[in-house]
Amino acid sequence: MVISTQGLTFTFGNQTVVKSLSLQVPEGSIYGFLGPNGAGKTTTIKLLLNLLQTQEGSIHIFDKELKGNRIEILSQIGSLIEQPAIYLHLTGKENLMNRALLLQLPEKRVTEMLGLVHLTDAAHKKAGQYSLGMKQRLGIALALLSDPKLLILDEPTNGLDPNGIIEIRELLIKLTHEYKKTVFISSHLLAEIQRMATHVGIINYGELLFQGSINELEALSKPLIQIETDNTVDAANFLTRSNFSVAEVNDHHLYLPYTSKQNMGEINMLLNQNGYTIYSINKQQQDLEKLFLSITQKA
């Protein structure tokens, strides 16, 4: 595990914003840290980066305890918290060169990072004239300049248009697949995280409500059989009389719990044999956004 926390708890005044959090972030993963605004995501990230002092519990990064190995660990982490810290009066390249000088890195590294985040053509343009998506990509380039093993990003797609979101998503997938980075990304947008994450942790009111692979999360959303027929209500009544469990009926479709392909074939054949015309029948995964809302609202 690149990140491992045990019983991590943090309190502001009399309000506990992180409650006994135990994170497990595998190496080479894109770990989506999900929760509504105010759930405790940014506080957790600040604890992981030692921007807030740990009050209770422990944090291990790269199998080393953070408190006793702070400098060694943080030198291998790149981060982007909320808005990127860039100088708007400098060009994109000048922003990177400024950081490279501090880190004693060659100009070649700056050129590589501009290419990686697709800002080569805008290298000599003032950062103040960049779009929001370009600023986010420049912020990620700054975070990657020292070639860290772990990238921690706090809501990097917040406020971006669809093109900007796609650019960030493709960049993060490339970083894990081609550059073997581990990415820890917080967001309140499950649909976006679903498209790129390999693992997910869901937090609300400071508590971890779910943690596992994206496949394990999808398994929680019970799939349904969606059927479109010439007489939806009549077909639903027939299936109920035939001892099938009908989950939902509307003007256009009826839904039954999915158990297997064979079961779906039997339902299709039964309806056909009894005079119902089937326009379509397919397996449908429950909307993960609804699942996310149900998990967080239960808390």
**DSSP line for 224-278:** EEEEEESSHHHHHHHHHHTT----EE-SS-EEEE---HHHHHHHHHHHHHTT--E
Residue 83: its pLDDT value, please?
73
Residue 183: its pLDDT value, please?
92
For 31, 51, 63, the CA distances from 44, given in Å and listed in that order, are: 14, 10, 18
Residues 103 and 31 in one domain: yes
Element (H, E) at 199: strand 199-204
Residue 31: its pLDDT value, please?
94
Residue 185: its pLDDT value, please?
92
Cross-strand pairs, 61: 3, 64
CATH number, position 237: 3.30.70
In sign, the C-alpha dihedral spanning 77, 126, 104, 113 is positive
Residues 43 and 11 in one domain: yes
Backbone angles phi, psi at 22, to 5 degrees: -125, 95
Instruction: Give the C-alpha separation, 80 to 91, whole Å.
Output: 19
Residue 35: its pLDDT value, please?
85
Residues 91 and 236 in one domain: no
Residue 287: its pLDDT value, please?
60
Q: Which residues in the chain show pLDDT less than 70?
A: 285-290, 294, 298-299
Residues 36 and 172 in one domain: yes
Residues 104 and 239 in one domain: no
Residue 167: its pLDDT value, please?
82
Q: Count up the domains in the chain and report the number.
A: 2
Residues 19 and 49 in one domain: yes
164 located within any domain: yes
The pTM (predicted TM-score) of the whole model is 0.76
Task: Show the domain range for 153.
Answer: 3-219
Residue 60: its pLDDT value, please?
93
